[in-house]
Amino acid sequence: MISLDLNFNILTRDLSHYLENQVKVGLFGSGVGLSLVLGFSAAYTCYYLISVARKPQLVSGGKKFYQFLREQCPVVSETYYPTFWCWESRIQTLLRPFVTAKPGVVYRNELIKAADGGQISVDWFDNDESLSHPNPATRPTVLLLPGLTGTSRESYILHMVQQSRDLGYRCVVFNNRGVSGETLLTPRTYCAANTEDLEIVIEHVQRSCAAAPIMAAGVSMGGMMLANYLGRKGRETCLKGVVVFSAGWDVFECTASLEKPLDRFLFNSYLTSCLQASVHRPVLEKCYDIDHVMKARTIREFDERFTSIMFGYRTNEDYYHDASPVHKLKSVQVPMLCLNAADDVFSPSHGESHHQLISDGP
């Protein structure tokens, strides 16, 4: 473990060296200017090490899984040091599209027919060059679920595929209906509470890879859907283990956070427009008032006018209650590791303070 004193000394020493050798002119070249810069830098460094860098809070539903994580994943007990020059969550979110690279991944697309006549698009990365698992029949398979309007082309999904490739695993990405370019055949899309399409995909993957262990990882809404699925299925699932990133555990708290003035301006309106852009008018306008849906200005309004109606909820509050995984965590019967940032705008920490963040399977 790196000590606080050591970090402080190293950072202030490096800052001093840099400023003395690089800053030569103007205010910062004077003794007063240099002193101000050094003083501010030292204060910022001190604040960062004391208030920003933190150890994660590890909560477990059982001692067995807790001990496994402590022994096999030491990072869960190590201090986390966010990016020194950009640690605030909103700024990180805004900058991410501009600084994140997209690894090259070649998928094999497959369309799966659903019972209602619709189709579900999944993208396979077979990893036939795997050295650690050369037999495709037994090659471990990871099912990936993107976020709200995400697809297999999102940078975070591509990085997860890349890491899985390095481990020798096979990946399959579950794309929600109507978001990855496939034709929407029926007047139905998706929501966090409904897991019917996910069940179809999991059963299909199991049939295709009958001898291979199957795991899953979900991000944001994909994590919510995955957690809701496990809560409903209990032991009746083929998944051996699950990781959930940045899920919204209590949808009421999530929407309230996104409706705060700054967050509404920065994120809510943009996400609402993304949801509206995924609406396939020719198929859906026969069943829903799409003009009214397109006038929504927040995610809550969009769900009130579209999502909750599509999936038969009496009210939007009923939908939000059913979509919140917090109510189903105690029913999860496979190991599930859930990772959330304490300053996540989309899933505020006070909305998850009363739930079990790690589920221990049988």
Distance between alpha carbon 19 and the CA centroid of its chain, in Å? 39
Q: What is the pLDDT of residue 17?
A: 54
pLDDT of residue 16: 55
What was the pLDDT predicted at 63?
85
* Three-class SS state of 28: helix
Residues 330, 307: Cα–Cα separation, whole Å:
26
- The bridge status of strand 119-125 relative to strand 170-175 is antiparallel
Residues 6+ apart with CB under 8 A from 297: 269, 272
Give the mean pLDDT of 151-161: 96
For range 209-229, the mean pLDDT: 97
What is the rounded CA–CA span in Å between residue 69 and residue 161?
A: 23
- Residue 76 has a pLDDT of 85
Residue 23, pLDDT > 60, answer no
User: Does the pLDDT at position 187 exceed 60?
Assistant: yes
Name the band, by pLDDT with cuts 50, 70 and 90, for residue 12.
low
pTM of whole model > 0.75? Answer: yes
Give the integer Cα–Cα distance in Å for 40 and 193: 48
- Whether pLDDT at 347 is above 50: yes
Q: Does residue 239 have a pLDDT over 90?
A: yes
Whether residue 328 has pLDDT greater than 90: yes
- Rg value, the chain, Cα: 23
φ, ψ of residue 110 in degrees (nearest 5): -140, 135
Q: What is the pLDDT of residues 296-320, one digit of tens each?
A: 999 999 999 999 999 999 999 999 9
- The per-residue pLDDT for range 272-281, each reduced to its tens digit, is 999 999 999 9
CB 276 within 8 A of CB 315: no
Percent of the chain with pLDDT over 70: 88
What pLDDT, on the 0 to 100 scale, is given for residue 354? 42
pLDDT value at 18 more than 80: no
pLDDT of residue 184: 96
Cα dihedral 334, 343, 296, 326 sign:
positive
What number of H helices and E strands is found in the chain? 15, 8
The b/e string for 277-303 (b: 16+ C-beta within 10 A; e otherwise) is ebbbeebbeeebebeebeebebbbbbb
pLDDT reported for residue 73: 87
Q: Is the pLDDT of residue 126 over 50?
A: yes
Band of pLDDT at residue 1, cut at 50, 70 and 90:
very low
In the prediction, which pLDDT does 96 show?
84
Secondary structure class of 189 (helix, strand, coil): coil
58's torsion region: left (phi>0), alpha (psi -120 to 50) or beta? beta
Residues 6+ apart with CB under 8 A from 131: 168
